[in-house]
Amino acid sequence: MIKEITAKTLLSSARQPDPWFGIKYTMNLYRGCQHQCIYCDSRSECYQIEDFDHDVLVKANALDLLRDELPRKRVKGTVGTGSMNDPYMPLEAKLNLTGRALEIIAGHRFPVHIITKSDLVVRDADILADIGRVYAAVSFTVTAADDDLSRRLEPGAPPTSRRFAALSALAARGIYAGVTMMPILPFIEDNAENIAGIAAQAAAAGASYIMPGFGMTLRDRQRTYYYAQLDRLFPGLRQQYEARFSDRYSAAANDARKLERLFAELCARHGIATHMKHYRIEEPVRQLALF
């Protein structure tokens, strides 16, 4: 069910930009996500999204909050969106909340980083190209080289090939775009064929970077949901997970070191970076006292 809510604040600030994506301000326009990836970490109890698999909450006052909060930020840092929900989930096609937020961000000349699994982001290519004069990055999450597998694991999201087509369209516009290859699910995606397939498609699409994560988290509600989906989609696999990971919080990919080496070789061969460039924060200008 889609529900509107009124949020108290919109941007949450980090003391320092995070080392992966360089994000200083996190922006979530929605709570919950229509993409319904079977491994999604946003189901975890710590995020307090009670009915993640049924409700999507729309922050009805998000744009007003953004207009109010952004100009009051003394430090110009990257606004990041897409870690807790996908800013281009199907609902966005109708609401254009992300598109309108980007216009506000562009008006204030703030840098932006988007994580998405959707080709709907191409709709906003013009505005992203404009923001890109300061800094704009779009990271497409791809975990499976194969469309059929991506449809099983990420049933509400466009399949892998559409994500790469979108990446290619943005890269052709000169927008800085790459791949977040995470999570890599143990026993399902942690094989050389999958990693090589993703790297080859990323190279063909013109990706500037691929950021990998060889493994996944397995936390409380996230684990419960994931294991139920394993029973449905991959009978017998849950038992392998339980034997290997017990109640551990993180589940490393099989042969993670070997896959990391292969990944580094592939990226070097394709000329793709394994880290992304961040926006460099400049210290706020101090007013000089006249007297």
Instruction: Provide the binding-site residues for ligand SF4, judged by CB under 6 A.
Output: 33, 35-37, 40, 42, 85-86, 117, 154, 157
Closest approach of Cβ 264 to ligand SF4, in Å? 25
Query: Toward ligand SF4, which CB reaches closer, 81 or 208?
Result: 81
Query: Toward ligand SF4, which CB reaches closer, 92 or 124?
Result: 92
Interacting residues of 195 by C-beta distance below 8 A, sequence separation 6+: 145, 181, 184, 259, 262, 263, 266
Query: Toward ligand SF4, which CB reaches closer, 92 or 190?
Result: 92
Closest approach of Cβ 108 to ligand SF4, in Å? 26
Query: Toward ligand SF4, which CB reaches closer, 86 or 132?
Result: 86
Closest approach of Cβ 201 to ligand SF4, in Å? 19
Query: Toward ligand SF4, which CB reaches closer, 141 or 168?
Result: 141
Closest approach of Cβ 67 to ligand SF4, in Å? 25
Query: Toward ligand SF4, which CB reaches closer, 102 or 115?
Result: 115
Smallest CA-to-CA distance from 104 within 63, 138, 59, 73 is with 63
The amino acid present at 89, given as its one-letter code, is: M
Beta strand 11-13 with 23-27: parallel, antiparallel or unpaired? antiparallel
DSSP code, position 36: -
Per the listing, tokens 């996500």 go with: 33
Closest approach of Cβ 133 to ligand SF4, in Å? 28
Beta strand 176-181 with 210-212: parallel, antiparallel or unpaired? parallel
Closest approach of Cβ 82 to ligand SF4, in Å? 7
Q: Where are the beta strands (DSSP E) in 111-213?
A: 112-116, 136-141, 176-181, 210-212
147: left (phi over 0), alpha (psi -120 to 50) or beta: alpha
Beta strand 215-217 with 250-252: parallel, antiparallel or unpaired? antiparallel
Query: Toward ligand SF4, which CB reaches closer, 33 or 127?
Result: 33
Query: Toward ligand SF4, which CB reaches closer, 37 or 65?
Result: 37
Q: Count Cβ atoms below 10 Å from residue 224 Cβ, excluding itself.
A: 12
Axis crossing angle, helix 192-205 with helix 256-270, rounded to the nearest 10: 20
Smallest CA-to-CA distance from 114 within 141, 81, 88 is with 81
d(CA 262, CA 240): 25
Closest approach of Cβ 49 to ligand SF4, in Å? 10
Closest approach of Cβ 115 to ligand SF4, in Å? 8
